[in-house]
Amino acid sequence: MDVLRKIKELNLNFPSCTPPFWAPEGHLQTIFGSLLPQASLPQIDETHLLPLEIPEEKLHVSYIKGEIEICLSLFHGLGGSIESPYMNRFAHLAHELGLNVYLANHRGCGEGRGLAKSGYNSGRSEDLSRVIEFGRSRHPLATHIACGVSLSANALLLLSAGVRATALPDLSIAINAPINLELSAVKLKSGLNRIYDRHFLKSLKNYLSHNNEKEDLKDYYLLESLHDFDNHYTAPVAGYKNREEYYQTCSARQFLDQICVPTLIITSEDDPFIDVSEYRSAKLSPSTILRIEKTGGHVGYLQGQGLSYRYWLDDFLKEILKEMGPVGTLH
């Protein structure tokens, strides 16, 4: 059975997220989803520094050895690292299933601090491709699954459409991707979303301090929103004229009909800073499956009864990984 048909069947039969009474909507899902106790990251077996297009720059990748010929490459969101809670949880469940796991720190993030000054952003699909290419060189017979969260989910959708791609996964899983970057950046500046905007901005300013020690950063520290940060730092560092060109070039929405590998997109109606109508109005390729949960917030997806809870997203991801099975069963 091919990958796409397997995922379609699982998607149709897997139950929806039923939130607990204390996290009934997007903001609470988003906040509690990141603050509640998380699984710990399994022991890292190897670390690797992958060369980027600038010879002196490197991408930091951690590897957890598995027992079966399936590789899961995990990519974190804005301001995160491989230590982000969802990265720990996903790596933990994949390790329990015996998969080989590659956890990538984006340029200058986590243990990759100081290794790349060219900056990461939502359009760096070439970096995801580089990690998958590395995994394929080490496991040429394996099935390769890529899972991107938030910022990385947008980049993964670009990659899956062949944008700046040298290597593609056998299955892409994109979680809460901001497929209209400008709309999401603007939404972050309003109402309760300012909580998240300040959080992202603080993490990005910390990123600057760790990766640009010799530069005068005072002007960047005065910026008050991600929208402004993208205009004054993200876009120019990546070679774009301004944030408008960056947003226009790197928003995945325009490429969804060009996706050429089996791809599962997961998002929620109540994500505070991603407009679900952007998904509903987008044209999808035949190899793309879109799942929209009524409740889940931004990478929350808590479910349960009473005070008990589980991560619906983890349960769904676990079933997907189990369905993939050994490489010989895929076709």
pLDDT in tens, 174-197: 999 999 999 999 999 999 999 999
pTM (predicted TM-score): 0.95
Q: Residue 154 is part of which domain span?
A: 3-180+254-329
Flag whether 114 is in a domain. Answer: yes
Flag whether 244 is in a domain. Answer: no
Instruction: Give residue 209's pLDDT.
Output: 84
Flag whether 142 is in a domain. Answer: yes
Instruction: Give residue 213's pLDDT.
Output: 63
Token readout for 19 is 């939130």
CATH code of residue 278: 3.40.50.1820
Token readout for 185 is 């950046």
**Average pLDDT across the chain, whole number:** 94
Flag whether 97 is in a domain. Answer: yes
Flag whether 176 is in a domain. Answer: yes
| Confidence band, pLDDT 50/70/90 cuts, at residue 327 | very low
Does the pLDDT at position 330 exceed 50? no
Flag whether 314 is in a domain. Answer: yes
Token readout for 81 is 């690292």
Mean pLDDT of 154-178: 97
Flag whether 19 is in a domain. Answer: yes
Could you give the percent of the chain with pLDDT greater than 90? 89
Give pLDDT tens digits for 118-147: 999 999 999 999 999 999 999 999 999 999
**79 C-beta neighbours (distance < 10 Å), count:** 21
Does the pLDDT at position 313 exceed 50? yes
Does the pLDDT at position 106 exceed 50? yes
Q: What is the DSSP string of 191-210?
A: GGGHHHHHHHHHHHHHHHHH
| Confidence band, pLDDT 50/70/90 cuts, at residue 218 | confident
Flag whether 216 is in a domain. Answer: no
Q: How many domains does the chain have?
A: 1
Q: What angle do CA 94, 100, 103 make, to 5 degrees?
A: 80
